[in-house]
Structure 1
Amino acid sequence: MINFDCHAHIYERIASVPDARYVPSAPAPLARWLSHHQKHDIEGGVVVQVSFLGIDNSELCAALAKLDRTRFAGVAVVPLYVSDDALADLVCAGARGVRWNLVRGKVVPDLRSKAVRAFFRKLEQHGLHLEIHLEGPRIAPILEPLTDQGVRIVVDHFGLPSVPNPDRDPMILATNKLTDASSLYFKFSAPYRSSFDVTDHAHALLSKLEDHHVVWGSDWPHTQHEDEVDFASTRSTCNTWGLRSDTTAARDLYGINLDR
């Protein structure tokens, strides 16, 4: 059973960095997200730093400060040259991962560079995973070196597949070619961010990934798609993908034990 909402954005105020791609018209309060959980039998969740706030994780940390740390965690956004002290502070606040949001042409860091290798070593030392939001054709050529970095890799939103037929989709093909997928996880969330039905892609991923390497997320408040979907519809859709349980993944990725 899916009991965990691994992807939502919380912001009590509207602000943005200068180069923000999208700024919503209304806040996404913590209390409203939790009310959805109560209605739909969700036991815990993950607050993900929203892109328009950049590396200012203060809203994220403020939300985590109000939540039960045994049931909730966070994913922050940090610069490549983040300090150990800054990462330690985020871990203390409840962060369990950091996110690279690289869609729409943002530069993919060079995984061979000294700076990126140092970045991954810091993540490893602090027990943090890397969550990556990137279009499937751009994920495909870096998937193998990503999974060799020594940290868990969480791919957002099904990996944003690009081809309706999963047998021809470059992201699916790259996943299938991995000789070791033990560090790879996928978030089954926001199917509406793809232009076609991703059910077959979900099944293809489930056939390749290790058991309990998939989590579900509501993607609340569905930024840029607020008028198309709601929490109830995203919750019901997750039942069509063949997900069995997210308990182990929630524990491994976010340190949350929903079996307690």
Structure 2
Amino acid sequence: MIHFDCHAHVYDQIVAQGAVRYLPTRPAPLADWRALQDSHGLSGGVIVQVSFLGTDNSQMLAALQNLPTGRFAGVAVIDIDTPDAEIARLCAAGVRAIRWNLVAGATIPDLTSSAVQSLMRTLARHDMHLELQLESKRLAPLLPQLADLPLPVVIDHLGLPETTAAQEPWLNALDALPERENFYVKISAPYRGSAQGLDHIDRLLGLLAADRFVWGSDWPHTRHESHATYAGLLDDLKNRIDDRAAVRRLYQLRLDHA
């Protein structure tokens, strides 16, 4: 059963930080997201830094201050050279991961560089993880290096599938790995890939343990507001996945009665 919405964006002010691919026309208030959670019987969730705000995490952090500790967490965007003290501050505020949104030809950081390796060690010390959005074809060759990182790696939006599940580049690369313990997957936003996601979910459930999956609404569905719905794949997962172990490990979240 799904208990948490592990991928949503919350913001009251729409101010682009630098050059952006897309800028929404309306805010995404915290109260609206909470109402949607309540209407779907969810217990909490994760606010992910929206791309147009860049590394200005202030709105996400402000939202976390108004939410119950233990039922909500955040995912921040930071520079690779962010000092340990700042990462510690984010962690204390409820941030449990950083996100790399590398779609549309964005530069992929060199995972072997001393700067990236230092950042990964710092995140691991704070029991944080890396969340990665990257197209399947570009993600596939990175998997061996990601598998060697000293912290969990969460693949956003089903790895943005591009073709059939049997031919999907990143799933084939995952299948070829001798060790997959680092990986978790967000089952969310099937509309962001160019292929349907249900067969991909079936294959993923054969490749990773059942406690390696979380669900996300991707609310407010930026760039897809006209046709996406909050529930997304929720009904398809209710009897197939229990997210409690994954959200406890990744985000330190718990149910009220747990």
Q: Classify the TM-score, shorter chain.
A: over 0.9
Could you tell me which amino acid in structure 1 is paired with residue 182 of structure 2? S
Deviations 1:54-113 (A, max 9, x none): 000000100000001110000000000010011011001100000000000001011111
Could you tell me which of 232, 235, 238 is aligned with 1:239?
A: 235
- Is 1:148 matched up with 2:145? no
Q: Shift in Å at residue 198 of structure 1?
A: 1.2
Which residue of 2 is the match for residue 138 of structure 1?
A: 138
Query: In structure 1, how many angstroms separate the alpha carbons of the residues matched to 2:29 and 2:94?
Result: 18
Which residue of 2 is the match for residue 182 of structure 1?
A: 181
Which residue of 2 is the match for residue 228 of structure 1?
A: 227
Which residue of 1 is the match for residue 108 of structure 2?
A: 108
Report if aligned partners of 2:96, 2:250 keep a CA contact under 8 Å in 1: yes
Report if aligned partners of 2:129, 2:153 keep a CA contact under 8 Å in 1: yes
Structure-to-structure mapping, 1:63-74, within 5 angstroms: 63-74=63-74
Provide structure 2 residue ranges, at least 5 long, that are not aligned to the other structure: none
Report if aligned partners of 1:10, 1:30 keep a CA contact under 8 Å in 2: yes
Report if aligned partners of 1:166, 1:204 keep a CA contact under 8 Å in 2: yes
Query: In structure 2, how many angstroms separate the alpha carbons of the residues matched to 1:183 and 1:195?
Result: 26
Secondary structure at 2:154 match in 1: strand
Structure-to-structure mapping, 1:214-225, within 5 angstroms: 214-225=213-224
Could you tell me which of 243, 246, 250 is aligned with 1:249?
A: 246
Identity over aligned pairs, percent: 45
Deviations 1:195-251 (A, max 9, x none): 23111011101110012100000000000000112214x2xx323256320000010
Which residue of 2 is the match for residue 83 of structure 1?
A: 83
Deviations 1:3-34 (A, max 9, x none): 11000000011111121111100000000000
Report if aligned partners of 1:181, 1:210 keep a CA contact under 8 Å in 2: no
Report if aligned partners of 2:161, 2:194 keep a CA contact under 8 Å in 1: no
Query: In structure 2, how many angstroms separate the alpha carbons of the residues matched to 1:27 and 1:225?
Result: 15
Structure-to-structure mapping, 1:178-217, within 5 angstroms: 178-217=177-216
Query: In structure 2, how many angstroms separate the alpha carbons of the residues matched to 1:187 and 1:110?
Result: 24
Report if aligned partners of 1:2, 1:243 keep a CA contact under 8 Å in 2: no
Report if aligned partners of 2:165, 2:171 keep a CA contact under 8 Å in 1: yes
Could you tell me which amino acid in structure 2 is paired with residue 247 of structure 1? R
Query: In structure 1, how many angstroms separate the alpha carbons of the residues matched to 2:79 and 2:201?
Result: 31
Secondary structure at 1:212 match in 2: helix
How many residues end up aligned between the 2 structures? 256
Q: Shift in Å at residue 182 of structure 1?
A: 1.1
Q: TM-score, normalised by structure 2?
A: 0.97
Secondary structure at 2:211 match in 1: coil
